[in-house]
Amino acid sequence: ATNAPQRAYRAACPSCGAPVEFRSAASASAVCSFCRSTLVRDGDALQRIGVSSELFDDHSALQLGAAGKFQSLAFTLVGRLQYSYADGTWNEWHALFDNGRSGWLSEDNGSYVFSFDATPPEQPPRTEELRAGEKRVVAGRGWDVAAVTTARLIAAQGELPFAPRLQGEFTVADLRNAQGEVGTLDYSTPGTVHWSVGRGVLLADLALSG
């Protein structure tokens, strides 16, 4: 089918020569599992843009390569971003679905949220305007601001849809609505606000294996 996602791309790490595999040719970045070089796609080759720190051992129940199902759709965990904040660390696992769609499985202190990138609001709130406990209209819908957190990306692993930025603190706001959805405003990229929407999930319901 013409709409089928491109799959299975492989190239040598320009730093150590180890093979770096992409399950999706649409992925833009990866971290070499041997030398931790942060790599970005450059045509048919890979370009090294930095080195990722070692992951903090947070005794996660998840791992790269684990497969599962969400809303009857099969996915594989292919990448991880690890963040630090005042209360510890949390993980954002990059989930690649068999239909080529990307999602994020957030893991924080035993709680899990499956979310997907959404169109950013035309007029997102500024970080200094956000306060936990307030009500906000974002992307035309009403939300309660559950938390406003200062965070920092400390490590990356595996295959990612964008190149990780391992520097500087940023603000992330978690929102909830009456429909049980979880919205996230991510201010990690200067001049851009990332908006994602998802739902809380139980790990047991994802039927993970591998």
- Model pLDDT for residues 65-77, shown as the tens digit of each residue: 999 999 999 999 9
Look up the pTM and report it: 0.89
- Distance between CA atoms of 147 and 144, rounded to whole angstroms? 9
Q: Which residues contact 182 (CB under 8 A, 6 or more apart)?
A: 113, 115, 174, 175, 176, 197, 198, 199, 200
How many CB atoms neighbour CB 52 within 10 A? 21
pLDDT at 59 exceeding the cut of 90: no
- Distance between CA atoms of 153 and 188, rounded to whole angstroms? 9
- Model pLDDT for residues 86-112, shown as the tens digit of each residue: 989 999 999 999 988 999 999 988 899
SS3 assignment, position 103? strand
Pairing of strands 111-118, 135-138: unpaired
- Model pLDDT for residues 128-185, shown as the tens digit of each residue: 989 999 999 999 999 999 999 999 999 999 999 988 887 789 999 999 999 999 999 9
**Helices and strands (DSSP H and E) totals, the chain:** 0, 15
Pair of tokens at residue 102: 């990307």
The pLDDT score that the predictor gives to residue 2 is 39
3-state DSSP helix/strand/coil % of the chain, to nearest 5: 5, 55, 40
